[in-house]
Homo-oligomer: A and B are copies of this chain.
Amino acid sequence: VVQHSASIEDVARLAGVSIATVSRSLRGLPEVAPSTRARVLAAAAELDYVASPFAARLASGRTSTVGIIVPWLSRWFFAEVLGAVEAELRRASCDLLIFTVGNAEQRDAFFATLPVRKRVDSVIVVSLVLTEAERDALASLRLPIGLVGSSEPGWASVGIDDVAAAELAVNHLIALGHRRIALIGGDTDDPMRFTPPMYRRNGYLNALARAGLAADPDLEVLGYFTTAGGEAAMRTLLAQPDRPTAVFAESDEMAYGALRAARRAGLRVPEDLAIIGFDDHASAELLDLSTIRQPVVELGRRIAAAMLAAVACRDAATHAVTLPTELIVRGSTDRARSTY
């Protein structure tokens, strides 16, 4: 005989109370006599009782789970955010449901069918610029929505100031005396529409303008946010007659590719070519790459907390929070800071 695990009725019987009292005691509701609660807790412990979450969810209408939509799981930034979100939710014993939408097909499928329906009570969207249709689709859920890396009136969001951060990076290059500064970026017309490329490019252009430097379209090359793409982009840049002396890559991974291309071309970094990235990815210190650090874990923690709060109070949590970034100078832009 398969031993059926204890139900609320078993606990009620053992404690000599009704199931309503068991429910109230176990959830810590106020209107229970301390002595009763103690008896119930003891009975529950003795029977090794855990409530069935599905029964509770069905009865209460609350799902105690939040959905999170991410482009990928295995890229550093997303894995880091996800870890922070998971940790924060676990503390509130809330479940996390992950949806990866790494390509257009998955993304369209997600917004067409909205597989979160009837199974989460809030949703977090990471690093996606939403189309109007997508925004409407999410809004139709009538659930609290939290954005990481973008913002929307009426919805909670956390992010960094990508424009200002990119300016910080490019200003650093300018301060070092560079005048021909290239950009290795993402596709601002990408149908997948991630947020960073648009903003970081704007920061790049702002910094140039402010320094009175002309923006040269030849110095903007796509790196597609991959190391291989960054390498190809760098090769393209180095093939030009009037080479840049410095490069701002919109992500560290693209910067790694740029570093490699530079090394393969026999250029010294930073003497012949200065390179700065963006993220402060795990390997950036190792590769002695200057970069912009963003508080990745904090982004995840904050948005998770905001969603928990939003579900708790029906109002709440529609703030847009901007977290600070930091310029990290290493050897790829400044020989004096080199760790070698």
Contact = CB atoms under 8 A, between A and B. Distances in A.
A203 interface: no
Interface string A99-129: 1100000000000000101110000000000
A98 interface: yes
B87 A82 contact: no
Interface residues of A, number: 47
B72 A83 contact: yes
B53 A119 contact: yes
A2 interface: yes
Given A74-B79, A74-B80, A263-B340, A86 B58 contact: no
A100 B86 contact: yes
30 contacts: A51-B118, A52-B58, A53-B118, A53-B119, A54-B54, A54-B57, A54-B58, A54-B118, A54-B119, A55-B58, A58-B58, A72-B83, A73-B80, A73-B82, A73-B86, A74-B76, A74-B79, A74-B83, A83-B100, A93-B115, A95-B97, A95-B119, A227-B282, A227-B283, A227-B286, A256-B286, A260-B339, A264-B339, A264-B340, A283-B283
Given A58-B58, A256-B283, 13 more contacts: A51-B118, A53-B118, A54-B57, A55-B58, A73-B80, A73-B86, A74-B83, A83-B100, A86-B98, A95-B97, A96-B98, A98-B98, A264-B340
